[in-house]
Amino acid sequence: MNYTSITFTVDPLLPARDILLAELSDTNAESFVETETGLIAYFPEEIAAFSLEGYMVNAMEGVEVTFELQVIERENWNAAWEAAFQPIIVSEKLGVKAPFHAATGCEMDLIIQPKMSFGTGHHDTTWLMLNEMLLLNFNTKHVLDMGSGTGVLAILAEKMGAIKIDAIDIDDWSTENCQENMDLNACSIIRPIQGDASAIKANYDIVLANINRNVLTADMHIYVAAMNPNAYLLLSGFFISDREILISKAESLGLKHLKSNARNDWSCLVFML
């Protein structure tokens, strides 16, 4: 998806710049950068024309506002970090490395080209999920990876013997990146799907969801509805301080809390239906 930046010049700067920012916070602008002469607003779409008609700043006496639009092409902004990323050792059984790294010496290496998707094992939550997955039996299991990012968890599930894997992510960049990583790891059964929890159409033995507290609490009932009897649910993407909220939500949906794990401030929970 391409973005559009609108660079506003505001004279005199204050308080008009702050008011303009407040007004733009009512639009679909995602983020802003304050400059010495005004403001840059970033929109998640290609915008051909923009008007300040109806904006307060436009009617403020003695205030002049001009602006310029620029479409920003989609690009892998994470390239600099990726070029230097270090392999991750989850345990002696499992390493995660980029295509340009030598083997880690672990029993199994997953090869991940991260691009701009979540999930390299560098983040504590991915590490925690990979670590918990190593303790489960994936042989002949049906697996759902919600918020799949790079596809790293789905790829491990296939390597551990799962026979049906759906990898759902809301971000189009991620579904593309998941396919790329499947190819790097010679995986063939994962189905990358773009969408949210409404894209869940099957039942599973193991559901993996490393997203965030708000999405997990909002969508957990949909995951549970898609779980076979005795299925496992592995959750991460939230702080230790949010653990109780997720456990009580899960218990209210009939899940049994089996295990909590943590690394730095981040938490991982294991449930069973």
For binding to other proteins (CB under 8 A), which residues are involved?
1, 3, 5, 15-16, 18-19, 21-23, 25-26, 30-34, 40, 42, 44, 54-56, 58-61, 72, 75, 77-81, 84-85, 114, 116-118, 120, 122-123, 125, 149, 171, 212-214, 237-239
In angstroms, give the least distance from the CB of 41 to other proteins: 9
Q: Which is nearer to other proteins, 26 or 188 (CB)?
A: 26
In angstroms, give the least distance from the CB of 121 to other proteins: 12
Q: Which is nearer to other proteins, 124 or 191 (CB)?
A: 124
Q: Which is nearer to other proteins, 126 or 231 (CB)?
A: 126
- Closest-CA residue to 149 (of 185, 112, 183, 197): 112
d(C-alpha 44, C-alpha 165), whole Å = 30
Q: Which is nearer to other proteins, 140 or 214 (CB)?
A: 214
In angstroms, give the least distance from the CB of 10 to other proteins: 12
In angstroms, give the least distance from the CB of 24 to other proteins: 8
Helices (H), 197-242: 213-225
3-state secondary structure of 209: strand
Cβ atoms 189, 156 nearer than 8 A? no
In angstroms, give the least distance from the CB of 189 to other proteins: 26
Q: Is the peptide bond before 15 cis (omega within 30 degrees of 0)?
A: yes
d(C-alpha 104, C-alpha 132), whole Å = 20
Q: Which is nearer to other proteins, 19 or 199 (CB)?
A: 19
In angstroms, give the least distance from the CB of 236 to other proteins: 10
Burial of 144 (0-12, 13-18, 19+ CB in 10 A): buried
- Closest-CA residue to 153 (of 141, 161, 145): 145
Q: Which is nearer to other proteins, 31 or 37 (CB)?
A: 31
Residue for token pair 């949909």: 222
In angstroms, give the least distance from the CB of 195 to other proteins: 17
- Closest-CA residue to 243 (of 263, 268, 211, 224): 268
Cβ atoms 101, 125 nearer than 8 A? no
Q: Which is nearer to other proteins, 40 or 108 (CB)?
A: 40
Pairing of strands 108-111, 94-97: parallel
Q: Which residues contact 36 (CB under 8 A, 6 or more apart)?
A: 13
